[in-house]
Amino acid sequence: MRVVDRILIRDLLVRGIIGVRDDERTRPQDILINVELRTDTRAAGASDDLADTVDYGALSKRIVALAETAGYGLVERLAEEIARLCLADERVEGATVRVEKPRALRYGRSVGVEIERSRG
């Protein structure tokens, strides 16, 4: 039986340059990121050893560094790059990535994209 567990990174709030309008290219804005990693956590559950699982702390730091420095025009591009970071760990079978720009619309809470990527 195939086991797929989930590791969640929720509501990671970073500031970075993202957007295509001139005013979006000159000042950092809030970017809200959520990630769901599909992986097998049984080894870590048995061993209680960080080496046996995806280090979500280290991954979060890489995601923050990317979002703060990349300067992409589209949330779609940032989501793709975050998914690539996630899948770089061979233990990750798939990832769901949501990237949102809070207050990007005057009358909306946020706008964003959610993508699913898997190995293969």
Helices 75-87 & 56-69 angle (0-180, nearest 10): 150
Q: What are phi and psi of 84, to 5 degrees?
A: -65, -40
Please name which of 59, 70, 16, 62 lies closest in space to residue 36, comparing C-alpha atoms.
Answer: 59
Q: What is the DSSP letter of 107?
A: T
61 is a catalytic site residue: no
**CA–CA gap between residue 34 and residue 99 (Å, rounded):** 7
Catalytic residue among 16, 39, 44, 101: 101
How many residues does this entry show for the chain?
120
Cα–Cα separations (whole angstroms), residue 3 to 30, 64, 108: 35, 29, 38
Catalytic sites, residue numbers: 101
